[in-house]
Amino acid sequence: MPDRMRELVDLLNEYSNAYYFSDSPMVSDAEFDALMEELSGLERQTGIVLPDSPTHRVGGELTSAFLPHQHISRLWSLDKVKTFGELRDWAQRCERYRGGDSNAKPLEFVLEYKFDGLTINLTYEDGMLVQAATRGNGIIGEGILAQVRTIRTIPLAIPYKGKMEVRGECYMKLSTLAELNANGTDILKNARNAAAGAIRNLDPRITASRRLDCACYNIGYIEGKDFAARREMFDFMHECGFPMSDFVFYGSIDEIIEEIESAESRRSSLDILIDGMVIKLNDIPLHDEMGYTDRFPRGEIAYKFQAEEQSTTVLNITWEVGRTGKLTPLAHLEPVDFMGVTVKRATLNNIDDIRRKRVGIGSKVLIRRSNDVIPEIMTSLDEGEPKNPVHVPESCPACGSKVEQRGVHTFCTNSLSCKPQIVGRLEHFASRNAMDIEGFSEKTAHLLADEIGLSKISELYELTEASFSGLSGFGEKRISNILSAIEKSKDCELSAFIFALGIPNVGNKTAKDLADTFLSLDAIRSAGREQLLNIPDIGDIVADDIMDFFADTHISAQVDRLLELGVNPRSPEAKTHNDFVNGKTFVVTGTLTRMGRKDIEDLISDLGGKASGSVSRKTDYLVAGENAGSKLDKAKKLDIPILSEEEFFHSIGM
């Protein structure tokens, strides 16, 4: 048994160092937690705790790149539970510790997101940020003031002049990660590692470029002030301007459990990574009276969600051809259970991505799944380069034609008769958000390409009853229905037509912005670069893609042919401006009843206003429903007018 404990301690310390200091995880969260639970169980069973056991530690050893900083007040880790039964047991221990009158009100608890980021500790003196540090081992961390100063949401000055330490979690939004990966040359593995790597980068300019966020959640030390409850502490933190979580809930343990279930169900739709929820006593004096173990405060605990990361083995990698001709690598995996779903495939971006992650056939890899989509391979867990590396195909796996490299991506050069490209273009063109050809499916696209030989989108509008002659499954009624649907699609909105054309990097929103700005197809086709860049969400790359698309003589001829065959993209109707909304910026937040938030934002846009996702001094009104959270607090701080849902609709005459 001592030998097994030694083995576990060495393994866990190696994994911790790789995770925290190399930003290169060697095992999944689920495997790490299982090993830690085994070690904790052996320590309880034997009464032996080895001197270097990770159960002593809150963080890890310092790197030599930053100067050490000793925290005024120790930063603690949190004990963890995985079931509601364990959580109720903890709440009952808190209740027993309080003792006293059995008729007293039930204890109130605070629930917050458990961010999957990097803990930081902020020190303020005389109202100024004078130091920032990583957690380190909980007593001594790494000084990272220059890096933290680049995080825009962290205040450099606050109204309170006493010395204080504020704890927070530094993280990267998933939308930010996606944007950086789309526009950069270096692919970031995941949001957690991207945030950790940015904070611990010696060059603050690199940190600034990562556009990190922070959520503060506790005051560890403060001179001249005491708080009776976390509500009071959080109000004070809001007044000081600290960034805080959009979600904080107060209630009994039964209400807390209901909210945890709700949070877990919406986890995949959040723009942040969370791996659980944190539950704390609202009563701070009672929390302090309960004290600490050698590692954890007794008055708070973490509820861990089921891991969203797993490790498995790559069985094969194939190259899939899309509608643009791009070859995308697809990893076929040893099946693994992932949050109740058996996962057999995962995505990779391109050959550079494969090499950077050191992935080959037979590699043990870490995969992450979010938003119920196909998982992504994060990294290889093997040491060194793969034994069976992956190579770019010399020819298209679908049609055998020549391939060419364009930047980091590989493309099939046969746009005329490569079946996956033709099928993909047909399916996209006919999809609901495009030309909305009713009854048209991927199966229909395959049939038209295979049996009828369609190779161009315009040939859809040249189909006749005779085109389907002799095709299995196509009776008179079905032929009539599909031809009617194709004919009906000729009368379409301009934005739908632009989206249907499949311009690189032009999705639904950009297509709508183009239609609303230029109002006609001719104006869009002839738009110059500066005109395109004047649209807020269009940058250099998208502008060039639009111009290159319409400058291609082959494409231009196909667009002309569609118009000749009767396709009629309708210009958008002029917006109906509302005097109250027109030209103003609104932020919509909270739970709304008459319309969903997205519907209200669309209505604001239709009436000539702008719907923003964040509160700033440029915000004219905040429309606040129930549980409005931090946006409401910030609006109050900035003296921005606040409207209830009912007041908003009354103001616009609805």
Phi–psi pair at 227, nearest 5 degrees: -120, 135
How far does Cα 296 stand from its chain's mean position?
Answer: 30
Q: Do the Cβ atoms of 120 and 170 come closer than 8 Å?
A: yes
What token pair was written down for 401?
């034609």
- DSSP class of residue 56 equals G
Please answer whether residues 434 and 500 qualify as being in contact, where contact means their C-beta atoms are separated by less than 8 angstroms.
yes
Angstrom distance (rounded) from CA 637 to CA 633: 6
CB 524 within 8 A of CB 424: no
Phi, psi values for residue 470, rounded to 5°: 85, 0
**Selection from 627, 597, 634 nearest residue 251 by Cα:** 627
Which helix H or strand E contains 251, and what residues bound it?
Answer: strand 248-251
| Residue carrying the six token digits 């205040």 | 155
Contact at 8 Å (CB) between 326 and 283? no
Beta strand 326-338 with 309-321: parallel, antiparallel or unpaired? antiparallel
SS3 annotation, 522-539: HHHHCCCHHHHHCCCCCC
Sheet of 118-125, strands arranged across:
128-134, 118-125, 164-171, 213-222
Residue 218 in contact with residue 166, Cβ under 8 Å?
Answer: yes
Catalytic, out of 114, 357, 512, 634: 114
Q: How far apart are the C-alpha atoms of 306 and 30, rounded to whole Å?
A: 8
Beta partners for residue 410, in sequence order: 327, 405
Can you read off the two tokens belonging to residue 653? 């005459």
Per the CB < 8 A criterion, the answer to whether 403 and 410 are in contact is yes
Tokens 């911790």 locate to 16
CA distances from 645 to 427, 577, 622, 636 (A): 40, 20, 10, 17
Is 114 marked active-site?
Answer: yes
Closest CA to 409 of 321, 331, 500, 506: 321
CA gap 169, 216 in Å, rounded: 6
Q: What is the DSSP letter of 653?
A: T
Q: Which residues contact 337 (CB under 8 A, 6 or more apart)?
A: 310, 343
Structure tokens at 407: 């930047």
**Whether 421 contacts 415, CB under 8 Å:** yes
Instruction: List the structure tokens of 570.
Output: 């309708």
Residue 514 carries which DSSP code?
A: H
| DSSP, res 55 | G
The helix-helix angle for 84-98 and 253-266 (nearest 10°) equals 150
Q: Which amino acid is at 595?
A: M
Cα separation, 652 vs 476, in Å, equals 51
- The catalytic site residues sit at 114
